[in-house]
Amino acid sequence: MRTIESLGSLQSKTVIVRCDLNVPLSDGVISDDGRIRASLTTIRELRDAGAKLVLISHLGRPKGEPDAQYSLRPVAERMSELLGAPVGFVDETLGDAASAAVAQLSDGEVVLLENLRFNAAETSKDPSERRAFAGDLAELGDALVSDGFGVVHRQQASVYELAQLLPSAAGRLVAAELDVLQRLTADAARPYTVVLGGSKVSDKLGVISHLIERVDTLLIGGGMVFTFLAAQGHAVASSLLESDQIDTVRGYLDDAERRGVRIVLPSDIVVAEKFAADARHEVVAADAIESSQFGSAGLGLDIGPRSAETFASAIAESETVFWNGPMGVFELDAFAGGTRTVARALTETHAFTVVGGGDSAAAVRALGFSDDQFGHISTGGGASLEYLEGKSLPGLEVLS
């Protein structure tokens, strides 16, 4: 994969940096600036090299046209604070204002253009539309540094076609993420434990299939656990259940047993009367969810305390741990216990620990943990999972 060094001297060159600045944003307030912080290593290096920086990114899922709630303006303001230097902002991606702002850059200066996805061509399924949009973007710079790891699994104009039209290379964030993922798939120290959570088992089937022959232990929590419990013949009341995946899950349980891989399911569950912060709740055995006081209306919203400690013990015995997906509805304090215990266990082990982006990264920060307490926190949950599933990532292939 091409690195920044392959681009030669960048003094006075205009470098487009495809970042992933897709941060959680509500009413203009950023609740987690982790992805902005992660982008700074590359940005600082390019500034020090004397480059003029044009940052591009998406945020959220606007419908191919401007939408104020998805503006990157708050990101530019926060980046200025973190960088300790002004980051200009242009309220368009392409046009006279964008071209003028880029032309006025001096060496080491930075400007962020408005949300790429305000332009329908960025995510178009028509390659010719994407290439035309990428061609217009390419006119703004002399080279591209691709550093948005969270989008390298997408064949989008700024990720794929733009890298074909300009001299291009991976930024430091993308290189670091790839190094970690290669370590997880090809060179993991054993015992190797994978902790999987989140709401849907269907989102994790590919990674389970690919990793089951590479790991020693799989710890299963989150909403996806109820499909596993159902596959074992247990009633799960009104908990989240993907009935169409039960047979597939049974197949994974059988495969794991044949391979000698431990799949550890919760022994107890926190069951609530409803999905709400103030909901009445109780802890019951995982094989007796309908015996809670809420009967068949009960909702499993977290793994129980015994299960959390079992998971923590397995983590403590490991040399490598990859975690993707919270253990429960961590946004509600009553149902954050499992996720908090797993996160704490990762901070206390001597193992190499990787938090796999997305909700997991948001959870550890929301629960008060800092990034440097873990071996690595990925900025790209979907990209990480697809790599671990063995899929090719277009945004990496194009940099080869």
Q: What does each of the 400 residues of the chain score in pLDDT, given as a tens digit?
A: 999 999 999 999 999 999 999 999 988 899 999 999 999 999 999 999 999 999 999 999 999 999 999 999 999 999 999 999 999 999 999 999 999 999 999 999 999 999 999 999 999 999 999 999 999 999 999 999 999 999 999 999 999 999 999 999 999 999 999 999 999 988 899 999 999 999 888 988 889 998 999 999 999 999 999 999 999 999 999 999 999 999 999 999 999 999 999 999 999 999 999 999 999 999 999 999 999 999 999 999 999 999 999 999 999 999 999 999 999 999 999 999 999 999 999 999 999 999 987 788 889 999 999 999 999 999 988 899 899 988 999 999 999 9
Q: Report whether 233 belongs to an annotated binding site.
A: no
Domain limits, the chain: 4-174, 188-389
Q: Token pair of 94, please?
A: 């392409």
Q: Report whether 199 belongs to an annotated binding site.
A: no
Q: What are the two backbone dihedrals, phi and then psi, of residue 272, each rounded to the nearest 5 degrees?
A: -120, 160
Q: Report whether 153 belongs to an annotated binding site.
A: no
- Examine residue 66 and say whether the peptide bond preceding it is cis (omega within 30 degrees of 0): no
Indicate the length of the chain as a whole number: 400
Q: Report whether 360 belongs to an annotated binding site.
A: yes
Q: Report whether 58 belongs to an annotated binding site.
A: yes
The residues, ordered by sequence, that sit 6+ positions from 355 with a Cβ below 8 Å of its Cβ are 323, 324, 346, 361, 364, 374, 376, 377, 378
Determine contact, residues 12/46, Cβ cutoff 8 Å.
Answer: no
pTM score of the predicted model: 0.90
Which one is catalytic: 18, 35, 172, 365? 35
Q: Report whether 209 belongs to an annotated binding site.
A: no
Q: Is 381 a catalytic residue?
A: no
Q: Which runs of E-coded beta strand occur in the chain?
A: 14-18, 25-26, 29-30, 52-56, 87-90, 110-113, 143-146, 168-170, 192-196, 217-220, 262-264, 268-272, 281-285, 299-303, 320-324, 352-355, 376-377
Q: Report whether 92 belongs to an annotated binding site.
A: no
Which one is catalytic: 325, 358, 380, 395? 358
Q: Report whether 126 belongs to an annotated binding site.
A: no
Distance CA 228, CA 247 (A): 10
Which one is catalytic: 108, 206, 375, 382? 382
> What is the structure's pLDDT at 243?
96
> What is the structure's pLDDT at 357?
72
Same fold, 4-174 and 188-389: yes
The superfamily in CATH containing domain 4-174 is: Phosphoglycerate kinase, N-terminal domain (3.40.50.1260)
Q: Is 35 a catalytic residue?
A: yes
Q: Which helix (H) or strand (E) holds 78?
A: helix 73-83
Taking phi over 0 as left and psi of -120 to 50 as alpha, with beta for the rest, 368 belongs to: left
CATH 3.30.2040.10 for the 188-389 domain, yes or no:
no
Q: Is 344 a catalytic residue?
A: no
**Residue (of 152, 176, 150) closest to 162 by Cα position:** 152
> What is the structure's pLDDT at 27?
87
Q: Token pair of 167, please?
A: 């001299």
Q: Report whether 21 belongs to an annotated binding site.
A: yes
Which one is catalytic: 2, 37, 200, 306? 200
Q: Is 223 a catalytic residue?
A: no
